[in-house]
Copies of this chain bind each other. A is one copy, B any other.
Amino acid sequence: VKLPDPVTVQEICALINARHSGRGNELVLGINEIHKVSPGDLTFVDFEKYYQRALDSPAGFIIINKVQTPPENKVLIFSEEPFRDYNRLVRHFFPKMEMHNRPDSADIHPTARIYEGVFIGNDVCIGKDTVIYPNVTIYDHTIIGERVVIHSGSVIGADAFYFKRFEKPEPRYEKLESCGRVIIEDDVEIGAACTIDSGVSGDTVIGKGTKIDNQVHVGHGTVIGKRCLIAAQVGIAGKVTIGDEVILWGQVGISKDLVIGDWAEVYAQSGVAKSLPGGQAYFGSPAKPALAKMKELAMMQYMPDWWEWMKKREWGNGDAP
């Protein structure tokens, strides 16, 4: 995400009490996780095995826990605890506000219909002719377009499930602070009891005209294209990219960081563990092209016969258990 205003390296270092390489008057424009950085961005790295990836990334500013000479065009900020200091900066520039219901900062179009029991956080924006049914919760900074429908019990913009393990001084998980938003484009319908998490440093996006059934989960920073159909109880992890016109049938699960191409169709209960090219149907857990998977499944019924057949041909005598 972009910072509200550009900030000098010097100011950043003063906030976290750190030293830096190079000139202190360069301007930091944004703050992002390592996989999404652009040249004006600040990011962090704290494991030796990720150092090189960070140093090779486009990020202009890196909080790092090893003093070293910076590559050209990069400023290093030296910190003993890069994760903590990154979180501290997120909290500084994107302070969690005390959430109030329907605060003045919420921008709700007069034609939008918002029912009783709906909670609307700070800086939420709700467009024309949108309907939000009872007992929906909308966290801070969520942007909702026109003619959107959100059914009861859904929760939009809760924190990313993004924890980092520490072993010292005692084992524990610490949460990476979220400063991304949820953006729901025009003509989207979201069923009852869905959960759509906010991004950590990017936005979670539901594309124009996409329709989502009940009890669907969409993880942090996931971007869903236009006119997708997502059936009930689908779970999509964080930072997934789904194209346009994709259909996911009931109870499908998609692992994090994957890319699903336009016009892909994934049959019910499939588990997607790798990125999928578009324009095809997939099935199985792990998912593969549907026809191949169905052929495999059809074969399974012969296995007991195969077993008999091979046994007669001395399978199991010396060859196998």
Interfacial residues, chain A to chain B (CB-CB below 8 A): 98-99, 101, 113, 115-117, 119, 133-135, 137, 139, 149, 151-155, 158-159, 161, 163, 171-173, 175, 187, 189, 191-195, 197, 209, 211, 213-215, 217, 219, 227, 229, 231-233, 235, 237, 245, 250-251, 253, 255, 268-269, 271, 273, 285-286, 292, 295-297, 299-310, 312, 315, 319-321
Q: 18 A-B pairs, CB-CB below 8 angstroms?
A: A133-B158, A137-B153, A151-B158, A158-B191, A161-B191, A161-B213, A172-B209, A175-B211, A193-B195, A193-B215, A215-B215, A217-B233, A232-B235, A235-B250, A295-B303, A299-B300, A305-B320, A306-B320
B232 touches A233 (CB 8 A): no
Q: Report the bound CA distance from A175 to B297 in whole Å.
A: 35
A115 touches B99 (CB 8 A): yes
Which 10 residue pairs spanning A and B have beta carbons closest together?
A305-B320, A137-B152, A119-B134, A299-B303, A155-B192, A195-B214, A161-B213, A269-B271, A152-B155, A192-B195
A195-B215, A213-B161 known; A320+B309 contact, CB < 8 A = yes
Closest to A271 in B: B269
Residues of B within 8 A of A163 (CB): 211, 229
Query: How distant is A180 from chain B, measured CB to nearest CB, in Å?
Result: 16
Residues of B within 8 A of A302 (CB): 303, 307, 320
B214 touches A233 (CB 8 A): no
B227 touches A214 (CB 8 A): no
Residues of B within 8 A of A155 (CB): 135, 151-153, 192-193, 214
Q: Report the bound CA distance from A205 to B297 in whole Å.
A: 34
